[in-house]
Copies of this chain bind each other. A is one copy, B any other.
């Protein structure tokens, strides 16, 4: 370090995380599955900025949620905030670019969101959301496709028993529940029936017990009936557990009718990994004209966590397949040429050990530690015969191949990694 600087403690801010290569590779693998599934249902990508004007964000999520917004003044003195979800930015986009968008507008969005959560609850302040939404149609079929795509994605990640629970917020409306009461009902899973009833009564509801009874005996609305009929006729839900759950509430303010949640029953304690619903009036708060919309957000971090617990994901060490051990500076040109050929014609991710004077043993140790499955040794003997010694770092076997026989090298390297 230079001496005019004081040393700074290296630390990640509380509630935030670094993803080192092994973890980052795993996340990329799962993200790719989700993204491919989204595209297969006809959703196209959208990206919005990390910062929004504060007034775009506030008043959309509910009083409790608003407290978790990261709001601050930018360098020009304007009040701005970090993206809290992807539904409000989408609604802003639809209102802003109305004419340029083809409706129904189907988009997916995979970006981090920020919430100033209490980290003691094991929550993160930065996490990735994977959203799909269809804007501009109130057809039940759009709700059905969102649900179908969710199931499909979860199955492709490897979950055996995803369960979808579905409700309709209009049931709460017809029972005269306030937004505040819906938030209390939403806590049912966490705090149990007795505590919810107590809280409802504290907040002014006279006969909370009776209200509970009314909710329990609620039946499907016409919209739900239609959604269930379509879901039942789809063969993608074969063996799937999807059911009407009149107590499902969802915390956010903006939902207007259908709401749904995906749980993973593969675990002893089922956990929710995705949630969403219909929000037919949110876009109107920006454009003055209501546009129907429905969507879901996958909680990526929880999916990774559960998939890890259930050992559904491959182990990734590195994306490098080959290390070229350069024995002596004299062989550098051959090493560089071989690397270039392997990378471009062979499509093999290749690195060169950066210090040509290092002993072979040290170079092999590096490959081992990093988890690189193959090394190519280019010593003086090899240079004389224009060949390369290939070593499989997993079984320790070695073979010698001509440098010019790139296809043979590629075949040798590719086969065993499939095992």
- A contacts, CB < 8 Å to B: 1-2, 5, 7-14, 16-21, 24-25, 27-28, 39-42, 44-53, 55-56, 59, 68, 70, 72-76, 78, 80, 82, 92-93, 95-97, 100-102, 104, 106-107, 112, 114, 116, 125-126, 134, 137, 139, 141-142, 144-145, 148, 152, 230, 233-236, 281, 284-288, 290, 318-320, 323, 326, 332-333, 336-337, 340, 343-344, 347-352, 354-356, 366, 369-370
Once the chains bind, are A18 and B48 in contact (CB under 8 Å)?
yes
The reply to whether A114 and B318 form a contact with Cβ atoms under 8 Å apart is no
Contact pick for A107, options B21, B28, B50, CB 8 Å: B21
How distant is the Cα of A344 from the Cα of B2 in the complex, in angstroms?
A: 58
A371 → B minimal CB distance (Å): 9
* For the complex of A and B, 10 pairs with smallest distance between CB atoms: A42-B351, A1-B284, A72-B72, A21-B44, A16-B49, A10-B95, A10-B96, A233-B333, A24-B45, A19-B47
Interfacial chain B residues near A356, Cβ < 8 Å: 139, 141
* With known contacts A106-B351, A139-B354, A44–B319 Cβ distance under 8 A: yes
- The reply to whether A20 and B114 form a contact with Cβ atoms under 8 Å apart is no
Alpha-carbon distance between A287 and B351 when the two chains are bound, in angstroms: 27
Q: Work out how many copies of this chain go into the complex.
A: 2
- B141 engages A97 (CB within 8 Å): no
> Are A332 and B2 closer than 8 Å at their CB atoms?
no
What CA separation (Å) do A220 and B64 show in the bound complex?
62
12 A-B pairs, CB-CB below 8 angstroms? A5-B285, A10-B93, A13-B78, A16-B49, A25-B44, A39-B349, A42-B319, A42-B351, A50-B126, A102-B370, A234-B333, A235-B336
Given contacts A1-B284, A2-B284, 13 further A-B contacts (CB under 8 A): A10-B92, A11-B96, A20-B101, A24-B45, A24-B47, A25-B45, A28-B45, A40-B344, A42-B318, A102-B370, A141-B354, A142-B354, A230-B336
* Set B18, B75, B96, B366: member contacting A49, Cβ < 8 A: B18
B137 with A355: CB separation less than 8 A: yes
Pairwise interchain contact A7-B49, C-beta atoms closer than 8 A: no
Nearest residue in B to A5 (C-beta to C-beta)? Answer: B285
Q: Answer whether A349 and B42 are a contact pair too, CB < 8 Å, given A20-B101, A137-B355, A340-B235.
A: yes
B44 x A13 contact (CB < 8 A): no
Q: How far is the CA of A10 from the CA of B355 in the complex (A)?
A: 55
Check A285–B7 contact: CB distance below 8 A: yes
- CB neighbours of A370 from chain B (8 A): 102
**Bound form: Cα–Cα A276–B414 in Å:** 34
Q: Which of A42, A53, A235, A355 has the most CB of B within 10 A?
A: A42
Q: Could you say which residues of chain B place their CB within 8 Å of the CB of A355?
A: 137, 139, 141
Q: How far is the CB of A410 from chain B (nearest CB, A)?
A: 13
A13–B337 CB distance below 8 A: no
